[in-house]
Structure 1
């Protein structure tokens, strides 16, 4: 009998037994359950199990935080429960039975952008580094020369790195249409081909449309279609990707299997590309421009501080609901329109604030070894951009640290937006996030980061001494 046997038996009992488990899988630190009847899960008793560091429900899944030993615990649990291994994709599909329409929409957005995040993070770091060596004057009598100006080596590095940056951001529609075909279970190479047709060198580059005197067209005799590319455009790619996917799914139902290999790709891809350039591209471009203009105008207006305060305060609750995934599309649209995003820095600051509230709880619980087993790894992961262990394992458990972090995040966001801090791209959503911030904005972002660290720690410790804080944190009154 292993050390996981008894905890696994207790967990099985408190989630409602094997019959209540539709699907179970795990990630780096958590068990993920899709339960037939979520009400049968007793979260309070589950959190009393020694190995369990917290519970929460998100995206239709009941999740139990175990920590780094989750893989071994999972193996023992599935053996005792008599449930078979399953993939994360299967779990997500099953989880949709517990979602409302809005949650399904958010889940779709998450499935599209999550596979793209590693590339977007790398791209943001590359753009930031190119900005440092190619745009910031650091040499010469009046600091007017950059590293690129004085060194052929760094000039070569600057030019070479754009190869990667262009591939990630200018050709982003290829990644989006691929991700949609992957998510929908359709032919992924067709999704890639569709994406390429949106950014083909034959087309007028999206960045050159505004200043173009003459836009080339395809002339069909009775009608013409403008040959405009959609480099870095998000919404046109999403719309086109779903049209292709649903066309293929429908065609596979009506075309006999004997000839489906020939006719399904043909009748799916050609109409999808045509519709993308004639209808969806222009519509998507207009919608994307409208959204980015509204967000940018709001953040840079006289009331930008108010928008920042609300967003900084509300972002963490958005994470709980999953609505935060929508910000990925907005960030990318802002990057396309304005060569940077002033939204993403606030996201990084919110994550830092949540981690700082956990640091305060570590100080308050410095003699509680079991609590530290949860809080220390949670704070570290939060500072590195993974907030769930901190938020669900600590801050929401006591509530007042969560509120303190929201207030600290709000103040930091006001400073960031008020100082016009911009990021080159989405990056690591924690302390390393400064690497994605445009170099000239580093000083003010560091000040914002300091606020996101100091204010939540101070407020959490202050709230813990108030009557409502003591009620949540009973040991403080001893």
Structure 2
């Protein structure tokens, strides 16, 4: 008998039995179910199972939060249920049967950017560290930076740009690779396609935006501009999907004995041409339009209202999965404007959720079992990973989630109102201050203080007044 056999049997019963399970898998902390009928799952009874820390539905999957021992729980569940597990990618694919068109689009977008997150986080940390040593005047009575007085740190500053440039300037390579991998196409062709969008042979995207004269490929009857798409997101997404779809369709019609020669050639060459003639220019215009609309909204007279709404609703967006769209918008803002005023609000939302959990820790300071869940969740949240806090604590009690949303909105108003901009994305929670442009660090620190104090105070207030307390 396994450690979680009894609880696995309960979960199997409450989820609607074996016949209600289309697919099951697990990730780092959650069991992921694709159910034939989600209405058959008794959510309230499932939440009462001792090992279960919460449930939610996302990307067409009914997800049950177990925690760090999810692998052991999963093995016991498979044994008692007789259901054969599948991979996460297969579960996601099966889960799309329960999704509408918009949800499927968001799911695809999330799957594109998820493999890129480790690199984006590293890039954000590097750019943040370069901020500290190269842009903040800390020495000689606030007149010089560390780079200006030390050759060693000047060398470090210069060297680190090698990595930062590789991650953000050549982001299209990562995007086209990720799309190829996700769709089951040849990953090397995705990489090659990405390189053709950022090749040194092309005029750098920033030089194009600066009005430099654009060289061309002259075919006699037509000329094609040699424009690079460094840091551009939408051109890479469009080109990546065209390549993958074209390759997969060619595989179906080209005989296997010549497919190794014919398929790569007739998938890659037309896509690269199409990328520079049609997809790139269109994607650039779409991306520019989106970034300008978002930036205009945040810097307009009603920017405070936009900020308040975004700050208040970002955590619920995470629940739905819609927050994946902000990655593309942030990266587009960075490429167009040299920074983003959206990411600081995301970091503040992380902090606000963690602060609400901190209040729960204070309110339940004598409950050792509660602290085993809430303390790791708070730490994780302050480091930018909100899932354990949101699903394991805040949504469970409701009132801390509401307090965090209000605190996030308040902090976002201050952040946007004082013009806070981040150099990069990827570093959330308290370390998010490293990604902020030096001239805005004090303003962001004040916003962080609000994101800590307001949710903490409101959570305690709501608990004592029994406001939004789940019965």
Scaled by the length of structure 1, the TM-score of the pair is: 0.95
1:67 aligns with: 67
Contact 2:29 2:66 in 1 (8 A): yes
For residues 23-77 of structure 1, what are the alpha-carbon distances to aligned partners after superposition, in whole Å with 9 as ceiling and x for unaligned? 1111121111111221111111111111111111111111111111111111111
Paired with 2:174 and 2:149, the residues of 1 have a C-alpha distance of 36
Distance (Å, rounded) in 2 between the aligned partners of 1:210 and 1:173: 17
> 1: CA distance between counterparts of 2:145 and 2:377?
40
Q: Secondary structure at the match of 1:323?
A: coil
Instruction: Deviation per CA, 1:297-317: give whole Å up to 9, x if none.
Output: 221222221111111011111
Corresponding residue number in structure 2 for 1:125: 125
Q: Does 1:463 align with 2:462?
A: yes
1:10 alignment partner in structure 2: 10
- Mapping 1:116-195, distance limit 5 Å: 116-140=116-140, 143-195=142-194
1:128–1:439 CA contact under 8 A, matched in 2? no
Bigger shift: residues 208-217 or 166-175: 208-217
Partner of 1:327: 326
Rounded Cα–Cα distance in structure 2 between residues aligned with 1:65 and 1:186 = 33
The Cα offsets for residues 275-320 of structure 1, whole Å up to 9 and x where unpaired, read as 0000011111111111111111221222221111111011111111
Count of aligned pairs? 471
**Distance in 1, Cα, partners of 2:403 & 2:356:** 7
Deviation digits for residues 319-375 of structure 1 (CA, Å, limit 9, x no counterpart) = 111110000000001111111111001001111111211222222233444433332
Tell me which residue corresponds to 2:422: 423
Alignment partner, residue 244 of structure 2: 245
1:28 equivalenced with 2:28 (yes/no): yes
Structure 1 unaligned spans of 5+:
474-478
Displacement, 1:173?
Answer: 0.5
Correspondence 1:272 to 2:300: no
Shift of 1:129: 1.4
Could you tell me whether the CA contact under 8 Å between 1:56 and 1:63 is conserved in 2?
yes
Query: Which piece of structure 1 moves more, 170-179 or 61-70?
Result: 61-70
Contact 1:35–1:61 (CA<8 Å) still a contact in 2?
yes
What is the 5 A alignment of 1:21-420? Answer: 21-140=21-140, 143-420=142-419
**Distance in 2 between residues matched to 1:272 and 1:48, nearest whole Å:** 53
CA contact (8 A) 1:121 1:425 kept: no
**CA–CA distance in structure 2, aligned partners of residues 89 and 213 of structure 1:** 44
Task: Specify the SS of the correspondent of 2:24.
Answer: strand
Classify 1:189/1:100 alpha carbon distance in 2 versus 1 (closer, same or farther; 3 Å).
same
Does 292-301 or 436-445 show the bigger shift?
436-445
Check conservation: 1:412, 1:452, Cα contact below 8 A.
yes
Please report how far the alpha carbon of residue 378 of structure 1 lies from its aligned counterpart in structure 2 after TM superposition.
Answer: 2.2
Is the 2:125–2:427 Cα contact (8 Å) retained in structure 1?
A: no
Q: CA RMSD in A?
A: 1.5
Contact (CA 8 Å) 2:113, 2:175: kept in 1 or not?
Answer: yes
SS in 1 for 2:55: strand
Residues 34 and 94, structure 1, Cα contact 8 Å, conserved in 2: yes
Q: CA deviation at 1:88?
A: 1.0
Q: List per-residue Cα deviations over 1:171-205 (Å, max 9, x = no partner).
A: 11000000110111100100000000000000011
Match of residue 476 from structure 1: none
Please give the alpha-carbon distance, in whole angstroms, between the structure 2 residues aligned to 1:320 and 1:204.
41
- State the shift of 1:213 in Å: 4.4
CA shift for structure 1 position 468: 4.3
Q: What whole-Å deviation, never above 9, does each CA across 1:213-246 have from its counterpart, x for those lacking one?
A: 4211000000100101000111110111111111
d(CA) in 2 for partners of 1:211, 1:106: 33
C-alpha displacement of 1:111: 0.6
Specify the SS of the correspondent of 1:464: helix
Separation (CA, whole Å) in 1 of partners of 2:459 and 2:359: 6
Contact in 2 for aligned 1:405/1:456 (Cα 8 Å):
yes
Post-superposition offset of 1:253: 1.5
Native 8 Å contact 1:22 1:33 kept in 2: yes
Distance, in Å, in 2 between the alignment partners of 1:84 and 1:301 is: 54
Alpha-carbon distance between aligned partners in 1 of 2:4 and 2:184, rounded to the nearest angstrom: 36
Once the two structures are overlaid, the 10-residue window that deviates more, 44-53 or 78-87, is 78-87
Q: Does the CA-based 8 Å contact 1:350-1:452 persist in structure 2?
A: yes
Work out the CA distance in 2 between the residues paired with 1:210 and 1:76: 57
Structure 2: runs of 5 or more not aligned: none
Query: 1:155, CA displacement in angstroms?
Result: 1.4
Instruction: State the Cα distance separating 1:450 from its structure 2 match.
Output: 1.3
Distance 1:467 1:415, change over 3 A: same
Contact 2:344 2:415 survives alignment (8 Å):
yes
